[in-house]
Amino acid sequence: MVVRNCRSPPHGPDAGEQSLKQELSEHGSSYQIVSILDSAARRSIRRLIEDNGYDIDVVGPPYILYILLDNDLIEKPEFCEATVGMIRTEGWTGYEVVKNAWTSIPVDCSEILDGEYDDALPPR
């Protein structure tokens, strides 16, 4: 597995998305998964992938932790705590951002984590 962190020299609200688009346009066949939090950026990158015929999954960052869980490399409590930790450490706040972080993750952590974690769990 190769993991690359693409960073664009220009700065701005969509610099990461533009950097990923450029990287995928040039080297898309080298990738299996692209992880980015912003849901609009994921949709835009999915269009680029479809237009180029690549077979790449586009997911939110916590999905990488889900891969560990799905392959029995971590237990569900570890997954839930790590995902909430990622959300809080990155400062992802607000209904839509937290919802986007959990998109594509078929795990209910509310049964493991109590109410003090509600700010980082998906809306019900």
> For the chain, how big is the Rg over CA atoms in Å?
15
Q: Please tell me the number of Cα atoms within 13 Å of 120 on its side-chain side.
A: 19
Residue 41's pLDDT is what? Answer: 87
Under the phi-then-psi rule, with left for phi > 0, alpha for psi from -120 to 50, and beta for the rest, what region is 49? alpha
Residue 49's pLDDT is what? Answer: 95
Residue 10's pLDDT is what? Answer: 56
Query: DSSP state, 74?
Result: S
67 within 8 A of 4, measured Cβ to Cβ:
no
Token pair recorded at residue 94? 């607000």
Average pLDDT, the chain: 86
Please state, in angstroms and rounded to a whole number, the distance separating the CA atoms of residues 37 and 49: 17
Q: Over its length of 124 residues, how does the chain's per-residue pLDDT go in tens digits?
A: 455 555 545 567 777 788 888 889 999 999 999 988 788 888 999 999 999 999 999 988 889 899 999 999 999 999 999 999 999 988 888 888 888 888 888 999 988 998 888 889 887 7
